[in-house]
Structures are given as C-alpha cells and as structure tokens.
Amino acid sequence: MSHADVEAGAPAARAAPPATTGIKPPPGRYNTTSNAPYVQPSPFYYDHAAAHERHHWSWLVPLVVIANVAMFVVVMFYNNCPRGGGDCVGRGFLRRFSFQPLKENPLLGPTAATLQKYGALDWYKVVHGNQAWRLESCTWLHAGLIHLLANMISLIFIGVRLEQQFGFWRVGLVYLVSGFGGSVLSVLFIRKGVSVGASGALFGLLGAMLSELITNWSIYTNRFAAMLNLIIIAAINLALGILPHVDNFAHIGGFATGFLLGFVLLIQPQFGWLEQPYGSKTKSKYKAYQIILLIAALVLLAAGLAVGLVMVFRGENGNDHCGWCHYLTCVPTSSWKCDN
C-alpha cells in the first residue's frame, strides 16, 4: 500500500499554484469524498499521516525481539539440561545451555517444568494460585529455539512496518493487550499443560492490520487485493493451529483482540484532494463509519475481556459452554490424537 508523494513546502515565494484539472490523483492514499475536479497538490498541501509516518523510527519491535531472546537465554541457563542427565542436544558445546532431548522437546528448548517455573500459562496457577500475571508473562517465553525464531521473524516482518506507520505506543498497546486477550481465551478452554509464546500478540498485530485497512478504507488503493492477502495469511496460520501441541485459542483470542483494537488505535483522518482557496489549510476529518466502528469495537473489547476474566476466575470451563470449540485447537486424525 503505497502513499501519495506529497511534500509540505515552506511558502517562501508564494507563486499562485497552477489550477490544473482533470489530472488523476497519484497512486496510494486518496479520498473520493468530493466531486470537485482534482487539483494537483500545491506546496501548501500537507498530508499529515504520511508526514507523521516518516517521523516514526522502529525501536520498540527490535527491543521486544531482544527481550524475547534474552528471556530464552535466561530460561535455558536455569534449565541446565546436563544437570538432569539424558541425551541433551548440543551438550558438547552449549554445556548448560544445551537443549532437552528431542523426544522430550522437538523444538530445541527447555522442559515444561522450567517454563512453568518462569511464567508459562497454567490454568491452575492462574485461577487457584493467584498468579494472574502469567496471562502476560507467558507471551515472553518460548518452547524452543525453533519456536522463538519463527515468532521473532514474524514479529519483524509484521511489526516494523506497523510501528513505522503508527508509532511505538499504539503498536505496543496492540501487542501487549492482544497477547493478554489470547491468554484469557486460552486459559478459559485449556486446563492441562502449559502454554507459552508470542503468537497471540503476533496474531493481534495481524488482526489490527486487517481492521486498520477496513477503518481507513478510503485512503488506500488496491484495497480488495490487500484485504484478500491478509485474510488468506490469517486463515492459513489459524488452520495450522489445529495441529496438536499448538495453542490455537491464544491465536484466535489474540487475533480478535487485535482486530478490535485496530479500529480504536489505528484510525486515521481521511484526507481529500479538494480544491482549496489559495493559502488555506487543508482540513482532515474522521468519517462517520470510522467513529461507529471505534465505539462498537471499544464496547465489544471491554465486554469480551470483562466476561472472559470473570469466567476464568470463577473457574468456568469454556468447553462446558461450547461443545465443539475444542476442535478449534486440535482436530484428531489417523495420524494423531487430541489430548483433553
């Protein structure tokens, strides 16, 4: 999705701008709210969103990547596979940082007990151990090196572009709250084992990209192609979540949370290529549908998180209220079975 090349010039020598009409607007951002003929943008036209985007440096996403890698190193240090014996992977050169045997952890990582000790999502500890902090801490842990690399590459691919466009605080909020929302849905349906990973937060960024495209619909070209691409990517990744040992509830919860947050945090003013009086300031505004989507998303998000948290801490089991929902995270086949 490209942006129109519009510069904000300083009006030193104010020559009258050429009144050219019938010119097609440049590719990228545009608005069709006016029937006025297109006027080539003068030096006094200022695309606030495009200019604001140029001022954002992506530092939060690299910082999150560093934090996740650091947490993995710390967890592997305390895991200390050689201490427990067994056929540790890479024991000769990694020593205490070596991985658990592949039959125990094929993702090249620590034991489940170590992950649980350092903040993995565990239903019993969250509900009965007063450890609600695990709803967020689990998003900073990973089951193995393969898991870590897959998530961090995805984060860089998705997150850097979003941060450059919308800034660190909005993207940071989407990331953190989406991870939390994914954990709430996960712990509501999964009571056995532990769950870790930044996937819920990553799906939140993906969902936010989709809602951002919808709410800022009129400023983009190639909208349907972009939406189709996002839907296909999300569908493929969610489909992979039906494999065993994948917490697809965290993915679904994170995606839904990020999708709603996108309407609230990633809304942009709609700029029109309008014929303005010479020297006047170009006005921007939000459209009515954007405000409606923002309010609806905010209400749904608050209600969803509130209801989910109440159900979790009351000890409710989501599977009791949805008999088929367990198929969303694992579908049994002739090749594998799904543990309860």
- Residues annotated as catalytic are 199, 251
Give ∠ CA 86-115-76 in degrees, rounded to 5. Answer: 55
Structure tokens at 40: 């080539």
> DSSP secondary-structure letter at 106?
T
Q: How far apart are CA 317 and CA 185, in angstroms?
A: 11
DSSP letters spanning 184-243:
HHHHHH--SS-B--SHHHHHHHHHHHHHHHHHTGGG-SSHHHHHHHHHHHHHHHHHHTTS
| Helices assigned H by DSSP within the chain | 48-54, 60-79, 91-94, 112-117, 123-127, 134-137, 145-166, 168-189, 199-215, 223-240, 248-265, 288-313, 318-321
Structure tokens at 258: 């990020």
Q: How far apart are CA 214 and CA 208, in angstroms?
A: 10
